[in-house]
Chains A and B, each alone.
Chain A
Amino acid sequence: MNRTESAVLATARPGAGAAPSTARRAKTVACNALALVVVLVLWELGAEKMASPYFPAPLEIVVAFERLLTQGDVLGNSLWDHVGASVYRLLVGFGLGVLLGVPLGLLMGLYRGLYANTRIVLEPFRFIPPIAWIPLAIIFFTGITRYAFLIFLGAFFPIFTATMVGVGRVEPIHRKVYQVYGATKLQILRRVVLPTVLPDILGGMRVGLGTAWMTIVAAELTGGESIGLGRMMVNYSELLRIPEVVVAMLLIGALGFIFNEILLLAEKYLFRWRWQVAL
């Protein structure tokens, strides 16, 4: 973060990052609870008005969820099998995205020439949606590799691009501080470049996570396997059982939300130097 940005931040949010007082935190929780209730009420009213089997009320979702939890789905798979399969695929694909996106982003950020000389073959890939790869993925891969490949495609570019852009933020003076003491390139990478870029990497990861979830459902909709939340959705939509479809949708939303919160917590911990209160 450069000085102007932090100055803007400081003026925009007085006491930014002050450990929020318990009262303020309680208020935030209350407001969120209220928002949730409002949405549920509106949903319930809408369902009553429509009175259609294709517009289930919230309670029907709860019932469907409970049935899925206790009895499993029509094919005899438990709900946890579906959740587990999706999360596993996501983690493998997303992990690959991080594992390749970060080092490549660092490399191309540090050696801009490398990027400038190869961008014609890199950049167009960014615009091919991962789901456009599904036909090829079905031909070339099976099982976990297929999902991993597709999710990787979704996660890689946000992480790669954010990392590469972040390297440009490294301040020459910080590098110089280390060079004066005879730091090696590796020491500078670890102690200057990485700490500078880390906020961008985590930001890229959060964006990449969104694309990864988008991709996984699409991949499971078309895949040949019998488990996975996307798969479960297709099965139930073919049976016209909307409540179960909605359960799967909400689970995807909730899981994505939890993953995002975990990354946010990591950010808060790692970048406490940005958020702690000024005296």
Chain B
Amino acid sequence: MDMKTDIMVRIKESHRYGDFAVHDNIEFEVRENEFVCVCGPSGCGKSTLLDILAGLLVPTEGRALIQDQPIDPGRQNISFVFQEPSTLPWLNVRDNIAVGLRVKKRPEREVRRIVDDIIEVVGLGGFEKHYPHQISGGMKQRVAIARAFATDADLVLMDEPFVSLDQPTRERMQREILDIWQHRKRTIIFVTHNLEEAVFLGDRVIILSSKPARIRADTRVALQRPRDILSAEFTALRAQCAELLNELSQQAGHAVSQPARAV
């Protein structure tokens, strides 16, 4: 038996599509139950990073390990919250949440219990029998989050899950995701291009440069939760990250506009 370490993810890789380098020596570790946010200019290869961590893509050089094992979606428990709506229109809320559990062939009784549980946590009680077209975009994204937390995933990957939601819904979902995470500890890697979101959520914020992506900063967010986005520490940390990101974006030829929320 391997020694039990508290490192969940180790990644060290470079990736290219043909002649085009996407990742250049991306290397970091993520501890168990850590909430890591990955930020970078659009098109910098953040989604590619998640695909590699999900085992959907093999990097051209180096590799990623989960609990010191090569990544294999069939053997490990990984789940993924996608940017676009990923509910299956022919399944109701309950069956959508159960997708991962059923692929993993968990006994039906257990599926029922877990789904009943998580439905309450994400606040979808009473909507079990609804089909995706009958619920709002925010609720659909909650279904996707519930699905990701239903399996005992060692690693939850989130790809800008709130990007298509309006601002109030987005803020509520950010608080909810922290709630769920505090209830059921998981390792989370959360990709976003919104720095405020990253600093609000993460234990750590990793900033990537673009074309090819390199790690430009790996900042620990030492602020107590719940975090106050208007506090001086929060604003300072956000500004510090924003400056770095803006610099990178200008290099890449386009500026990132910061959400003008803090007064």
Which A residues fall within an 8 A CB radius of B?
1, 6, 173-174, 176-184, 187, 191-192, 195-196, 271, 273-274, 276-279
A273 touches B82 (CB 8 A): no
Among B6-14, B71-79, B113-121, B239-247, the one that faces the other chain is B71-79
Known: A1-B89, A273-B90. A182 touches B133 (CB 8 A): no
| A-contact bits for B8-39, CB 8 A (1 contact / 0 none) | 00000000000000000000000000000000
Do most interface residues of chain B lie in helix, strand or loop, or is the interface mixed? loop
Interface residues of B in 75-96 (CB under 8 A from A): 75-76, 78-80, 82, 84-86, 88-92
- B-chain residues with CB within 8 Å of residue A279 when the two chains form the complex: 130, 134-135
Q: Say whether B74 contacts A182, CB under 8 Å.
A: yes
Known: A176-B82, A180-B79, A181-B151. A276 touches B134 (CB 8 A): yes
A273 to chain B, nearest CB (A): 5
Q: How many Å lie between the Cα of A278 and that of B76 in the bound state?
A: 38
- B88 near A195 with CB under 8 A, answer yes
- In the complex, are the beta carbons of A192 and B88 less than 8 A apart? yes
Partner of B79, one of A1, A181, A187, A195: A181
Query: Could you tell me the distance in whole angstroms from the C-beta of A272 to the nearest C-beta in chain B?
Result: 8
Bound-state Cα–Cα, A187 to B88, Å: 14
A sample of 24 inter-chain contacts (CB < 8 A) reads: A173-B84, A173-B85, A173-B86, A174-B86, A176-B80, A176-B82, A177-B80, A177-B99, A177-B147, A180-B56, A181-B73, A181-B103, A181-B104, A182-B75, A182-B76, A187-B103, A195-B88, A273-B90, A273-B133, A274-B133, A276-B131, A276-B134, A278-B134, A279-B134
| Complex CA–CA separation, A174 to B79 (angstroms) | 14
Give the top 10 A-B pairs by smallest Cβ distance, nearest first.
Answer: A182-B74, A182-B73, A181-B103, A180-B80, A195-B90, A273-B131, A181-B100, A183-B103, A273-B90, A177-B86
> By the criterion CB–CB under 8 Å, are B134 and A174 in contact?
no
Contacts of B174-211 to chain A: CB distance below 8 A: none
Question: Which residue of chain B has the shortest Cβ distance to A195 in the bound complex?
Answer: B90
Contact A181 B134 (CB under 8 A): no
Closest to B131 in A: A273
